[in-house]
Amino acid sequence: MKQLPADTVRLLSSCQVITSVVNVVKELLENSLDAGALSIDIKLENYGFDRIEIRDNGSGIKAADTDVMAVQHYTSKICSHDDLEHLATYGFRGEALGSICAVAEVAVTTKTSEDDVGTQYTLDLTGNVVSQKPSHLGQGTTVCALKLFKNLPVRRQYYANTKKCKEELKKVQDLLMAYAILKPELRLTLTHNKVVVWQKAKVSDHRMALMATLGPNAVAHLLPVHHQQPEIVIDGFFPRPGMDCSLASSSNPDKTFIFVNDRPVHQKDILKVVRQHFLAQYPADSALNRYPTMMLNITVPASTVDVNLTPDKTQILLQNKVAVLAAVETLLVSFYGPGLGSAAEAPPVTGEYDGGSGLHAGPSLGHCRGNADLEDSLAEHNVRVAKAPSDCSDGPPSKVVAGDFDLAFPQLEDYMASTGTGTTNSGTAKGLERLDSHDQGHDKGKDVEQLSAVSWSRGTALTDPSTGEPLQPVKVHLATGSSSDLGQVMAKGQSSPGKKVSNAITEKRAVLTAYDLINNRAMRTPLSPAALFEMETRASVLQEKPTARLQDISTAVQEKWKNLGEEDRKKYEDKAKKNLERYDLQTKLASDGDVREPERQRRLVSPLSRPQGQKRKVLPSNQPVLDQLFFSQPQKKRSPGPKPSQPLPFSVVTLRQRLHCLSFQSSPRPQGLRLVNRLASQSAWVVLCGRKLMLLNPFRVEEALLFKRLLENNILPAASLQNPIQLTDSILGGAEYTQALSTMEKGSPELRGMAVFSDPRLVANGFQITLTPGSSSTERHLEVTAMADCVPFLGMEDLREILTAVLHRNAKTVQECRPLKVTNYLQGEAVRLARQLPVNLAKEDVEDTLSRMQQQLEETSQACIHGQAFFHHLSDIPDTEQEALKIMSNIL
């Protein structure tokens, strides 16, 4: 065996600590939090593989510690292993910064409150400082890691996939969200490729932190919780009981935050207990694979927690794990209720933890859950249940007694018919035990299928173990009548035990309730006085009691009918009598087949209740015409007969030779530019100029034409100055410049003698100058009262440039007097206008562009603003056959 080199050992150990971008961000973020930072900025480039920069405003690194700040196992957090008993920081190993140096290029900039100026340190692979220089950054520390995994090509190649990189960025954001919720006073910003991806400002408390992180809609249904017992304190926010599952949970655990001693952790056992009690409120189908939106912070003594399990310190061991789980369950039971429904995966945790992934189902809250549910369901139907003794873990209720009817299970039908009692037997106990086992949702050594709402509503949820038929838990028996009638009913049920029970939902009876069918015609049946009264009164009762049940409404209507006076009751009786007469008349007419009625009888019948007349004739359908237009198959045309033809002697070679000779005997080529065709792929045009075949870019020509027109005609708008600028010889550059300015064209003087210069060489360049005359030339005042604000940094130097062109170059036009700043501004405007042209220009537009180019631009200026030529030479057109053959041979 041979000892590994130190650099190899360092790289191997660093690869275990730093495995991804999120590990780098987590280690540096926790270092910033340990330094007391309240503002942290995280900047990533190329998902963090090119650059990771984390800047904070913490206490900084002391100058005495900078030499060993990145050396392995140097730390200021602890001094010995005993300090882990009262650990109060996130980091403690002294490996993070040194491990990052082994897989990236690291630079650290830091400044403490005692330092006058910050210092930037460059580190090597071993974590030693190789150079330093002063920095302008303020108090705090900035760590910059470049070229992550540069010496691990396989790991860098693993993250070459864009999907993997986006997942890594999502993990970084989830990490920051966890610390943002945990630290309300912390300000965080995540930037990727100079774009702010996520940020969170400083807030007052945990609820505001949740709102800033998850949004107000997700936090609106969260309620604060608190539980305290010796050495265990639990705080957090849980969804309100009974909240819609889709709003209070998500399909992944990215919104489920669990903290232990203010440290984000992945604790599967705590998460499992939380999910059990939360999902117990909902049906199993809707709550499958859902995670509640919540925050849970557990505080226990630091000596009872071991965080030194994994490099990322997200997995922990709890010394008093059973007590912590019991405390969490106590909190959940007080918040969501005492029992688990069918959606739960296991009973509540009250026994001992077995050390594995499952939990012992010891004596639990709500052990007699099945009987409690049965009592609740019977209470809804006004049924009294005689409870069994307090120890009801094995037995169901001993007797079921109804106020108006008796209840029994199918197995008790024969027994109850003979005895008339409601005492349960072994079959009832088995049915209730099965219901109880389904309600608990868990049985040792067996996988019990969950009850669904669909199977329960169809009556197929519970089956008889012996026959496999659906179990019918309740049967209604007649409560009134003689014993002989009851015996006849029971005998009838015994005589045909295999007869299928009719279902009112699936087997609809063909019966008209409100109408009678007479002679293939529907006749409305007459209503009784009480029914007419109910139709008119039900609406008023609903207005008085909008939330009343149907049974309550019917009861109220019946009470009003009983208390109705004789006169009002007689009105409804008259109405019922008229309806009966109308019904008898319609029945007679329908039976006789006579549809017409006498005029006297027609007056007795209301317009709404007149018998139906003969049906209106149906207009002929246009479907055949539509079918013929849209769906008819085109008929095949008959092929015409063969046309008469006569063979003629023809030779393609001879035709080619004659055409070739004619092409060279044509008239001389026209001079000037002529369009040939457009190249669609390049948005360029092929142009023929004499013998030259060239490629034209029309956008460059338009750009040059626009720039020339702007130089000649554009007038820059002048904005008034708040403080006019007085012009003197020193500002303009001498007395000759002042004299040249005074001789320029002016407008008509105002009443006070003030004149405004109207010379286009001044106005077009954005200057408005006024002249106030005096008794002598020395007393005249020249002031700039307005100046163009569209040109950046336009000033007196540009005015001096205009006057220089007038004095020394004798410039007469606006184009000759343009200052350099104005010229550059007009160039940018020309480029902007040219880019607004359509990509595909029509042939007429290109011909117009060429025509304007020949008229307005000189032959020497055949280039755009950027110096690119308008034309690109392609080839020369040959005049003789020998030249054409020579060109073809060069091409081939």
| In the predicted structure, residue 560 carries a pLDDT above the cut 80 | yes
What dihedral do alpha carbons 247, 253, 255, 256 form, nearest 10°?
Answer: 100
How confident is the model at residue 549, as a pLDDT? 79
How many C-beta neighbours within 10 Å does residue 325 have?
21
Task: In whole angstroms, give the CA distance from residue 350 to residue 338.
Answer: 13
Of 274, 136, 292, 148, the residue nearest 214 (C-alpha)? 292
Assigned fold of 2-195: Heat Shock Protein 90 (3.30.565)
pLDDT in tens, 171-182: 999 999 999 999
Residue extents of the structural domains in the chain: 2-195, 213-336, 673-891
Q: Give mean pLDDT, residues 811-827.
A: 91
Which pLDDT band, with edges at 50, 70 and 90, does 766 fall under?
Answer: very high
Which pLDDT band, with edges at 50, 70 and 90, does 296 fall under?
Answer: very high
Task: In whole angstroms, give the CA distance from residue 361 to residue 372.
Answer: 19
CB 713 within 8 A of CB 830: no
Of 463, 421, 433, the residue nearest 371 (C-alpha)? 433
How confident is the model at residue 820, as a pLDDT? 92
Task: In whole angstroms, give the CA distance from residue 471 to residue 425.
Answer: 16
| In the predicted structure, residue 233 carries a pLDDT above the cut 90 | yes
Q: Give mean pLDDT, residues 615-626.
A: 62
| In the predicted structure, residue 484 carries a pLDDT above the cut 90 | no
How confident is the model at residue 346, as a pLDDT? 37
How confident is the model at residue 4, as a pLDDT? 60
Q: Give mean pLDDT, residues 275-287.
A: 80
Which pLDDT band, with edges at 50, 70 and 90, does 209 fall under?
Answer: very high
Lowest-pLDDT choice from 223-232, 289-298, 390-399, 462-471 = 390-399
Task: In whole angstroms, give the CA distance from residue 426 to residue 885.
Answer: 111
How many C-beta neighbours within 10 Å does residue 569 have?
13
CB 536 within 8 A of CB 508: no
| In the predicted structure, residue 138 carries a pLDDT above the cut 50 | yes
3-class DSSP state of 331: helix
- The CATH architecture of the domain made up of 213-336 is 2-Layer Sandwich (3.30)
When mean pLDDT is compared over 1-10, 644-653, 766-775, the highest value belongs to 766-775
| In the predicted structure, residue 473 carries a pLDDT above the cut 80 | no
Of 685, 699, 690, 647, the residue nearest 669 (C-alpha)? 690
Query: What sign does the dihedral 721-726-729-731 (CA atoms) show?
Result: negative
How confident is the model at residue 768, as a pLDDT? 92
Task: In whole angstroms, give the CA distance from residue 746 to residue 314.
Answer: 82
Please report, rounded to a whole number, the percentage of residues in the chain having pLDDT higher than 90.
18
Residue type, 310: T
Q: Longest C-alpha distance within the chain, in Å?
A: 140
How confident is the model at residue 506, as a pLDDT? 43
CB 106 within 8 A of CB 70: yes
| In the predicted structure, residue 297 carries a pLDDT above the cut 80 | yes
When mean pLDDT is compared over 272-276, 473-477, 591-595, the highest value belongs to 272-276
How confident is the model at residue 489, as a pLDDT? 42
How confident is the model at residue 384, as a pLDDT? 38
CB 291 within 8 A of CB 235: no
More confident residue, 342 or 184: 184
pLDDT in tens, 536-549: 888 888 878 777 77
What Cα–Cα distance (Å) separates residue 405 from each residue in 420, 478, 482, 492?
Answer: 12, 7, 14, 19
| In the predicted structure, residue 535 carries a pLDDT above the cut 70 | yes
Helices (H) and strands (E) in the chain, counts: 29, 28
Tokens representing 686? 């092929």
- Beta strand 187-192 with 39-45: parallel, antiparallel or unpaired? parallel
pLDDT in tens, 350-381: 333 333 333 333 333 333 333 444 344 334 33
DSSP category for residue 160? T
Query: What sign does the dihedral 287-293-299-303 (CA atoms) show?
Result: positive
Which pLDDT band, with edges at 50, 70 and 90, does 472 fall under?
Answer: low
| In the predicted structure, residue 498 carries a pLDDT above the cut 80 | no
More confident residue, 776 or 609: 776
Q: Give mean pLDDT, residues 571-583.
A: 88
Task: In whole angstroms, give the CA distance from residue 679 to residue 693.
Answer: 14
How confident is the model at residue 190, as a pLDDT? 94
Lowest-pLDDT choice from 204-218, 365-379, 632-646 = 365-379
Tell me what the pLDDT averaged over the chain comes to: 74
| In the predicted structure, residue 505 carries a pLDDT above the cut 60 | no
Which pLDDT band, with edges at 50, 70 and 90, does 680 fall under?
Answer: low
Please report, rounded to a whole number, the percentage of residues in the chain having pLDDT higher than 70.
68
| DSSP letters spanning 286-315 | TTTT-EE-EEEEEE--GGGEE--SSTTS--
Task: In whole angstroms, give the CA distance from residue 762 to residue 749.
Answer: 18
More confident residue, 591 or 186: 186
How confident is the model at residue 450, as a pLDDT? 60
How confident is the model at residue 189, as a pLDDT? 93
Task: In whole angstroms, give the CA distance from residue 543 to residue 509.
Answer: 34
